[in-house]
Amino acid sequence: MTHRITVSNQKGGVGKTTICLHLAVALADRGRDVLLIDLDPSAYLSVHLGLDEDYYEENENSLAYHLVEGSRSNPEGTILNSDEGVDVISSNYDMRGVEDRLSAERNREMRLKMFLDEVDEDYDYTLVDSPPSLGILYDNAILACRRVVIPIKDEDMSIISIHRALDEIDEIERAFRIDAEILAIVPNLVRPDGVAASTLEGLRNTDGVKEYLTPFEIRQRVAIRRAMKKRTTLYKHKPSCDQTENFEKLADLVVSKCEGDP
Ligand SMILES: Nc1ncnc2c1ncn2[C@@H]1O[C@H](COP(=O)(O)OP(=O)(O)O)[C@@H](O)[C@H]1O
Ligand SMILES: [Mg+2]
């Protein structure tokens, strides 16, 4: 059975797509079969992987179609290969209308789970890149995966904003009577002049936060932004960058939490 994980945060620009991609590639490097799902209507992940060619074309075998109509035929036909060694189900223009179209539907929050149940059985990991807002798609990601990696950005690094992110997940757990596991809260875009080391140190000593916060943080590096802009990964663009090891550490943490220590 596959381990499903969503990289979620209701805020945009915190590094969800960047972390989702690097985590996926790091897991693939560890010999795992990985399926990446782009659940964001902006389709940044799909664009990044060069899989946005048909973005504006109506497609009866798109993720949006399967979420709205339910899977009728050939759900595996949505799976694309990428040059990064991971398989991908891309987003397209129709994803913009999915929340509206689902708003009055039965089981609207369960659509992604129902779809994934048909396609991801043979993968070791399914990673869902979540949209930057609360709503039906966000709920779908949590309900389908039940394991969450939460990136937080340097400027938002406070107990209040971490609690806000955790509260959203709590609310879904209560509303749908499920248990979701927070695999990691990952400080990202950490600048030398930004959040003081003491703030991070304080968070690492705060009950209710310290349990989830990774013992490493991903620093802001031009090489990461450039790698994403060049539609590649840091591993390929600048393997010597000091932050590759933090993506590796995240992959190791995810493996040990999902598969247990060897
Ligand atoms: N650690 C980092 N250092 C430098 N740039 C980063 C880092 N993490 C993300 N970025 C850049 O920040 C922007 C937002 O990241 P992205 O992953 O798209 O966030 P989200 O998916 O949460 O909206 C992108 O331009 C990305 O390349
Ligand atoms: Mg994104």
Residue 252 domain-assigned (yes or no): yes
* 42 found inside a domain: yes
Taking every pair of C-alpha atoms in the chain, what is the biggest distance, in angstroms?
54
Ligand 1 nearest atom to the CA of residue 11, by list position: 22
Q: Could you tell me the distance, in angstroms and rounded to a whole number, from the CA of residue 95 to the centre of ligand 2?
A: 14
Asked whether 42 and 55 are in contact (CB, 8 A), the reply is no
Q: How many domains does the chain have?
A: 1
Asked if residue 262 belongs to a domain, the reply is no
Residue 152's SS3 state is strand
Tell me the CA–centroid distance for residue 18 and ligand 2, in Å: 7
Q: Which of 20, 188, 228 for a ligand 1 pocket mutation test, highest count of atoms within 8 Å of Cβ?
A: 228
Using the atom order of ligand 1, give the atom closest to the CA of residue 222.
4
Q: Considering the domain boundaries, does residue 116 fall inside one?
A: yes
pLDDT by 10s per residue, the chain, length 262: 899 999 999 999 999 999 999 999 999 999 999 999 999 999 999 999 988 877 777 787 899 999 999 877 889 999 999 999 999 999 998 999 999 999 999 999 999 999 999 999 999 999 999 999 999 999 999 999 999 999 999 888 888 889 999 999 999 999 999 999 999 999 999 988 767 778 888 899 999 999 999 999 999 999 999 999 999 999 999 999 999 999 999 999 999 999 997 6
38 forms beta bridges with 129
Structural domain contains residue 89: yes
Give the domain extent around 39: 3-256
- For residue 172, being part of any structural domain is answered with yes
Distance 18 CA to ligand 1 centre (A): 6
Q: Tell me whether residue 261 is in a domain.
A: no
Ligand 2 center–CA 198 separation, angstroms = 29
Which strand (E) or helix (H) includes residue 145?
Answer: helix 136-145
Nearest atom within ligand 1 for CA of residue 225? 27
Q: Is residue 164 part of a domain?
A: yes
Strands 125-129 and 34-38 turn out to be: parallel
> Which residues surround ligand 1 with Cβ inside 6 Å?
12-18, 44, 132, 188-189, 218, 220-221, 224-225, 228
Q: Closest ligand 1 atom, CA of 190?
A: 1
Residues 6 or more apart whose CB falls under 8 angstroms from that of 185 comprise 150, 151, 152, 162, 165, 209, 212, 213, 214
Indicate which CATH number applies to the domain containing 147: 3.40.50.300
